[in-house]
Amino acid sequence: MKERILVTGGTGYIGSHTVVELQNSGYEVVIVDNLSNSRADVVDHIEQITGIRPAFEHVDCLDYEGMDAVFKKYPGIKGVIHFAASKAVGESVQKPLLYYRNNLVSLINLLELMPKHNVGGIIFSSSCTVYGQPDVLPVTEAAPIKKAESPYGNTKQVNEEIVRDTVASGAPINAILLRYFNPIGAHPSALIGELPNGVPQNLVPYVTQTAMGIREKLSVFGDDYDTPDGSCIRDYIYVVDLAKAHVIAMKRILEGKQKDKVEVFNLGTGRGLSVLELVHSFEEATGVKLNYQIVGRRAGDIVKVWADPTYANQELGWKADTPILDVLRSAWNWQVHLRETGVQ
Ligand code: NAD
Ligand code: WQD
């Protein structure tokens, strides 16, 4: 019997790649998504890639009764991977209550429903945003949590605490909090990838849309930072590498291998790349020349952050090692696929 895993936000960017890896590793997947930031045809594409159609439930995680019904309809769910959330940092400043409600209540519903349905494990999508601008680089899991710069960032911090407090209260739940650095790229099939809503706020979708001619030019936000070339530095991690870490983490929970009932892992490559280095790597990977200009700094940007992924490397036996040129080529192939299929 295959073990059954519930994936919330499973038609989204990271969720869809994780569903593929779960199915490839022999798990049975039930996706719950309200399609607020993804499309239903992602399920078809997952089936095309893996040959297996995951169960899909068009349900909102805010709907307690609806979620209860999902657990009843699919008995024996062993674990939950909780991706569903609103994630646009700028929008969260404009609509804080929407972000607090969606991101907090979705998690609370799950944590209430899991014991009721004998589901003992949860993986929560957290973010390197909890570290703010770290004092020491690379940043380890022991680094202090900094006051959040946005309601979105705050939802990640509060949700981490909600998980910890719930487990500490004696709830029969084991949890892994995964702090992602900057996920980029798309599945090698180019059948699934990131689908930004409107004008992309994140660097790589903006780069690929500019290369495609959808955007006139990329604005590089600042070249006067205290970094070697003056542009900001991030740890860009391939989404397929990231997805694989979830499969390993879920196996760890299900096999009872955790050292603690709540564990935290940084998921990054351990390498920092500047915005300008990324732009030039994209040009090298694809042969496409990018129209870009240096403009002023973007308010609230972290200057530099990259992971120390040693703990995840050692404990999970996992490493994000896909070469950046391959990753950027995958992002470009996805953009080409979107053009060919008339999506963008
Ligand atoms: P995404 O928007 O592509 O995927 C999230 C999915 O959740 C979407 O399909 C959306 O329709 C769904 N969703 C949102 N609210 C829902 C609700 N109430 N009920 C049901 N479905 C709902 O985002 P992503 O990039 O795949 O991010 C996944 C998770 O990882 C999020 O929690 C995000 O905050 C976190 N994260 C993302 C990044 C990143 O840069 N992409 C970095 C760190 C952490
Ligand atoms: C990367 C770099 C920009 C766009 C955001 C969230 C964070 C996390 C990941 C979820 C920065 C520069 C960007 C552009 C640019 N998400 N840039 N021109 O800022 O690390 O983080 O996504 O948890 O919470 O804040 O990612 O992709 O927006 O930017 O020069 O048009 O690219 O200034 O240095 P960021 P990003």
Kind of pairing between the strands at 182-184 and 273-274:
unpaired
Q: Return per-residue pLDDT of the chain as tens, 344 residues.
A: 899 999 999 999 999 999 999 999 999 999 999 999 999 999 999 999 999 999 999 999 999 999 999 999 999 999 999 999 999 999 999 999 999 999 999 999 999 999 999 999 999 999 999 999 999 999 999 999 999 999 999 999 999 999 999 999 999 999 999 999 999 999 999 999 999 989 999 999 999 999 999 999 999 999 999 999 999 999 999 999 999 999 999 999 999 999 999 999 999 999 999 999 999 999 999 999 999 999 999 999 999 999 999 999 999 999 999 999 999 999 999 999 999 998 98
d(CA 235, CA 304): 9
284 is written with which tokens?
């090298």
CA-to-CA dists, residue 27 to 13, 54, 200, angstroms: 19, 10, 33
Q: What is the C-alpha to C-alpha distance for residues 74 and 106, in angstroms, rounded to an integer?
A: 19
Ligand 2 atom at minimal distance to the Cα of residue 152: 24
Phi first, then psi: give them for residue 58, nearest 5 degrees: -80, 85
Distance 125 CA to ligand 1 centre (A): 8
Q: What pLDDT is recorded for position 286?
A: 98
Residue 175's region, left for phi above 0, alpha for psi from -120 to 50, else beta, is beta
63 lines ligand 2 (CB under 6 A): no
Q: Is-cis flag, bond preceding 115, omega within 30?
A: no
The reply to whether domains 4-184+235-267 and 203-234+270-306+322-340 share a CATH topology is no
In the reported structure, the alpha carbon of residue 202 is separated from the centroid of ligand 2 by a whole-number distance in angstroms of 5
Q: Which residue from 149, 154, 59 is spatially nearest to 99, judged by alpha carbons?
A: 154
Question: Whose Cα sits closest to atom 32 in ligand 2?
Answer: 203
CATH number of 203-234+270-306+322-340: 3.90.25.10
Mutation probe of ligand 1 site: the residue of 21, 36, 201 with most atoms within 8 A of C-beta: 36
Q: Is the CB of 109 under 6 A from ligand 1?
A: no
Beta bridge partners of 112: none
Query: Longest Cα pair distance anywhere in the chain, in angstroms?
Result: 57
The angle subtended at Cα 21 by Cα 37 and Cα 34, nearest 5°, is: 20
Q: How far apart are CA 214 and CA 338, in angstroms?
A: 12
Helix, strand, or coil (residue 118): coil
How far, in Å, from the CA of 152 to the mean position of ligand 1? 11
Give the span between the Cα atoms of 261 and 97, in whole angstroms. 30
pLDDT at residue number 335: 98
Which residue, judged by its Cα, is nearest atom 28 of ligand 2? Answer: 202
d(CA 88, CA 110) in angstroms, rounded, equals 22
Residue 16's contacts (CB-CB under 8 Å, 6 or more residues apart) are 10, 38, 42, 45, 46, 192
Q: Determine whether the shortest distance from the Cβ of 298 to ligand 2 is under 6 A.
A: yes
Q: Is 3 left (phi over 0), alpha (psi -120 to 50) or beta?
A: beta
Out of 125, 233, 234, give the residue to mutate to test ligand 2, the one with the largest number of ligand atoms within 8 Å of its CB. Answer: 234
In the prediction, which pLDDT does 344 show?
Answer: 83
Is 221 near ligand 2, meaning CB less than 6 Å away?
A: yes
pTM of the model: 0.99
Buried b (16+ CB within 10 A) or exposed e, 101-131: ebbbebbbbbbebbeebebbbbbbbbbbbbb
* ipTM score: 0.99
List the Cα angle 309/303/301 in 5-degree steps. Answer: 110
Strand partners, 184: 238
Residues near 322 by Cβ (< 8 Å), separated by ≥ 6?
Answer: 185, 238, 240, 241
- Ligand 2 neighbourhood includes 219 CB (under 6 angstroms): yes
Q: Do strands 292-295 and 218-221 pair parallel, antiparallel, or not at all (unpaired)? A: parallel
- Who contacts 94 (Cβ-Cβ below 8 Å, separation ≥6)? none
Q: Alpha-carbon distance 18 to 244, whole Å?
A: 7
Which pair of structure tokens corresponds to residue 218?
A: 């990329």
Residue 128 CA, closest ligand 2 atom number:
23
Q: Measured in angstroms, how far is the CA atom of residue 252 from the centroid of ligand 2?
A: 31
Atom 35 (ligand 1) nearest CA: 125
121 lines ligand 1 (CB under 6 A): no
pLDDT value at position 1? 86
Q: Return the active site residues.
A: 152
Domain boundaries, the chain: 4-184+235-267, 203-234+270-306+322-340
Ligand 2 in contact with 206 (CB < 6 A)?
Answer: yes
CATH 1.10.3720.10 fits 4-184+235-267, yes or no: no
Q: Find out whether 175 and 124 touch, Cβ atoms under 8 Å.
A: yes
